[in-house]
Structure 1
Amino acid sequence: MQNTLTFTDLLDDAALLSLEHQIHLEELLAEHSWHVDLQQQRFEFTGSRTLTCTGFHLLGSAAPGPGSWLWAWANPSGFPPAVVAASARLRDFGRQHGIPELASAEVPFSALPGAPTEPHLAAGLLTEAAKAVTGHWSSYNGDAGGGTRAAFLVEHPDFHLPPPEPARVMRVIQQALAGLRLTDHRRVLHSYAGKRGLGAEFGRDQARLSGPGFEAVVDFDEHGRVAHIKASLSSPQGG
Structure 2
Amino acid sequence: MSNTSSPSFTDLLDDAAFLSLEHQLHLEEVVGQHNWNVDLQAQRFHFTGEHELTCTGVHLLGSAAPGPGSWLWAWANPSGYPEAVTALTAAVRDFGREHGIPELAEPEVPFGALPGAPDHPRVVAALMTEAAKAVAGRWTSYTAEVGSGTHASFIIEHPSFTLPAPEGPRVMRTIQEGISGLPLNDRRRALYSYGVRRGLQAEFDPSGSRLDLAGSAFRATVEFDELGRPTAINAKMSGADGEQGPEGAQPQG
Number of aligned positions between the proteins: 235
Amino acid at match of 1:228: A
- Tell me, yes or no, if structure 1 residue 210 matches structure 2 residue 214: yes
1:40 alignment partner, one of 35, 39, 42: 42
Q: How does 1:110-121 map to 2 (within 5 A)?
A: 110-121=112-123
- Tell me, yes or no, if structure 1 residue 102 matches structure 2 residue 104: yes
Amino acid at match of 1:233: M
SS at match of 1:113: coil
Distance in 1 between the 2:239 and 2:50 partners?
Answer: 38
Partner of 1:131: 133
- Tell me, yes or no, if structure 1 residue 10 matches structure 2 residue 12: yes
Distance in 2 between the 1:217 and 1:88 partners?
Answer: 38
The alpha-carbon deviation at position 217 of structure 1 amounts to 1.4
Cα shift readout 1:90-146 (whole Å, capped 9, x = no counterpart): 111100000000001111111111221111110000000111111110000022111
Distance in 2 between the 1:197 and 1:41 partners?
Answer: 31
Q: Give the TM-score, by structure 2 length.
A: 0.90
The alpha-carbon deviation at position 19 of structure 1 amounts to 0.2
SS at match of 2:118: coil
Partner of 1:66: 68
Contact 1:64 / 1:147 at 8 angstroms: preserved in 2?
yes
Distance in 2 between the 1:100 and 1:58 partners?
Answer: 19
Amino acid at match of 1:170: M
Query: Which deviates more from structure 2 when the two are superposed, residues 29-38 or residues 208-217?
Result: 208-217
Q: How does 1:11-30 map to 2 (within 5 A)?
A: 11-30=13-32
- Tell me, yes or no, if structure 1 residue 235 matches structure 2 residue 239: yes
Aligned identity (percent) is 62
Amino acid at match of 1:159: F
Cα shift readout 1:186-207 (whole Å, capped 9, x = no counterpart): 2111111111111122012111
Contact 1:166 / 1:212 at 8 angstroms: preserved in 2?
no
Query: Which deviates more from structure 2 when the two are superposed, residues 160-169 or residues 209-218?
Result: 209-218
Distance in 2 between the 1:228 and 1:108 partners?
Answer: 38
Contact 2:140 / 2:157 at 8 angstroms: preserved in 1?
yes
| Distance change in 2, residues 1:82/1:146 (3 Å) | same
Partner of 2:195: 193
Amino acid at match of 2:229: R
Q: Which runs of 5+ in 2 are unaligned?
A: 241-253
Distance in 1 between the 2:213 and 2:105 partners?
Answer: 35
Distance in 1 between the 2:58 and 2:198 partners?
Answer: 23
2:54 alignment partner, one of 52, 55, 60: 52
Distance in 1 between the 2:223 and 2:42 partners?
Answer: 51
After superposing on structure 2, the runs of 4+ consecutive aligned residues of structure 1 that deviate more than 2 Å are none
SS at match of 1:120: helix
Q: Give the TM-score, by structure 1 length.
A: 0.95
SS at match of 1:62: strand
Partner of 2:245: none
Distance in 1 between the 2:54 and 2:6 partners?
Answer: 39
Cα RMSD of the aligned pairs, angstroms, is 1.3
Q: Which runs of 5+ in 1 are unaligned?
A: none
